[in-house]
Amino acid sequence: MPSASKNIFWLTLSRVTALTLLAVAYIFLFRYLGAFRTGQHQFVLSFTTIFGVIVDFGIQQYIIKKMSEEPDKIKTYFQNFLAIEIVLASFVYAVILIIAWLNGYEPIVFQAIAISGLGVALHALSYPFLSVMSANHDLRKVAFINFNNSIINVAIIAATIIFHRSIVFLVSNQIIFAVVSLSLYYRFVQKHIGKPHILTGFRTLQAPLLKKIMMSALPFAMLVGFSTIYNRIDMILISRMLGYAQNGLYAAAYKFFDLVAFFPSVVSFSLYPVFARMMAEDNHTSVRATIEKYLRFLVALALPMAIAGSILARPIILLLAGQEFAAAAPVLSVLIFAPAWLFIYIVANSLVISQLTKFAVIITGTNVLINIIGNIILLPRIGIMGAAIMTVASELIQGGFYFYFVSKKITHFHFSRFFWKPILASFVMALVLWPLRNSFLLIPVLLGFVTYVLILAALKFFRKDDLVFVKSFFRSRAPVTDV
């Protein structure tokens, strides 16, 4: 079976390449739109993303889990899932339009919501195809599709700027890459299930299976819904309470979160079916070894990112968005700790979602309430810094409880022992970066990186088996113990 490491490698390679291009595109887009129109754009995306949760209804994660556990029933699950998605996508798009109309948004915002919402609905139809690819660990092709979508995104951003188009044209990228993705997925899944026979799901829809899917997916639906809300509600609240311009400033800082948070999502997506299989086999030894192996590396990546990102927040914002967004630098200096902690707890996240879904729902639901209440209290008092503080607090709460429940209910694993060397190396790196915090960004980044790696090497952080682990990212096949 292809290793999780290799899947992570290909997904990461595609995302790093694509995000490099996107980062360049956003450098120009922020300057073209300015803070106010950036705020409108991000409000539209946040609005439609939250409603997009209903389209998935948590079914995707449940289906991936069942496909991994029952590979002989993959096509049956696929066809029923697709039939459900077609109905849900149509319903959700109608709801998006009705609610946007009832709220009386400005014409340009309403039009952008209509276009973006259609893209969300069409994109949802790719979930059944993606489930098949994930359950079969065929994520190299998923990486290709993700890269292709990013290229389309960059092209639309460039066209928006060159031809002086509005945010309505800008959000059309979602429709385009949804259609392209569906075309590619239709071809790729045939390796695993033969001809998809798209309409067969309606003709052979099994009522008992449908009921089982919907009922079993409900906890996943609540989990995905809560997660999406607490990740996006801040931008909606900022737009309503402080206006689009302040939302634009926050969006500039949050965009850096988006750019670096792809890696934890790749790790989670790749390990989810792996953990499902291990737990189905009652292989707790491999589960513990996998957690510790990935946790050690993710801690080593997360800590310097947080420290360096906080110190260099101003030059990062100036490079990413320009002088108009300089007020977002203090926000980024706090917000950067959210993706850093996400890096650390993402392995536990995969396991909790797979095996302790009800606990994950309770934790995330509570987090949503804390996040919303905190934003309502803090936004009028300290502005968008309040949203940054609540985002970090939400991630800390989520990760803390996930680690606790994995340790208590699945398997005990080592945690604190992985921190002290990266913490010490990050501290030394910070001493090097601080005097250079207003320098040209490339200089402190390079010096910080070299300093951090050298200190880790001096502390003998690196092990002989690390090379074996890295090589597993490139092998086409690897045993479970290699992950």
Report yes or no: 85 and 55 within 8 Å, Cβ to Cβ.
Answer: yes
173-218 pLDDT tens trace: 999 989 999 999 999 988 888 887 776 656 666 667 667 766 766 7
Which whole number is the average pLDDT over 34-57?
87
Which pLDDT tens digit goes with each residue over 362-374? 888 888 899 999 9
Nearest in space to 354 (alpha carbons), one of 274, 267, 263, 261: 274
Among 432, 268, 438, which Cα is nearest to 347's? 268
Is the four-CA dihedral 334, 335, 339, 342 of positive or negative sign?
Answer: positive
Report how far residue 394's alpha carbon sits from residue 373's, in angstroms, rounded to the nearest whole number. Answer: 12
pLDDT tens-digit readout, 329-387: 999 999 999 999 988 888 888 777 777 777 888 888 888 899 999 999 999 999 999 99
Per cent of the chain over pLDDT 70 is: 84
429 class by beta-carbon count within 10 Å (0-12 exposed, 13-18 middle, 19+ buried): buried
259 CB neighbour count, 10 Å cutoff:
18
Displacement of CA 170 from its chain's centroid (Å): 21
Q: What's the Cα-to-Cα distance from 138 to each of 31, 44, 69, 459, rounded to whole Å? A: 39, 33, 16, 38
d(CA 296, CA 466): 10
Distance CA 478, CA 480 (A): 7
Query: At 179, is the secondary structure helix, strand, or coil?
Result: helix
* Residue showing tokens 């737009």: 239
User: Which pLDDT does position 295 carry in this prediction?
Assistant: 85
Residue with tokens 């905190």: 374
* Cα(85)–Cα(91) distance, integer angstroms: 10
Q: CB-side exposure of 242: number of CA atoms within 13 Å? A: 28
* Cα-based distances in Å from 397 to 62, 209, 341, 418: 24, 36, 10, 20
**Confidence at residue 2, expressed as pLDDT on a 0 to 100 scale:** 44
Per-residue pLDDT band at 419 (split at 50, 70, 90): confident
Q: In this predicted structure, what is the pLDDT of residue 474?
A: 46
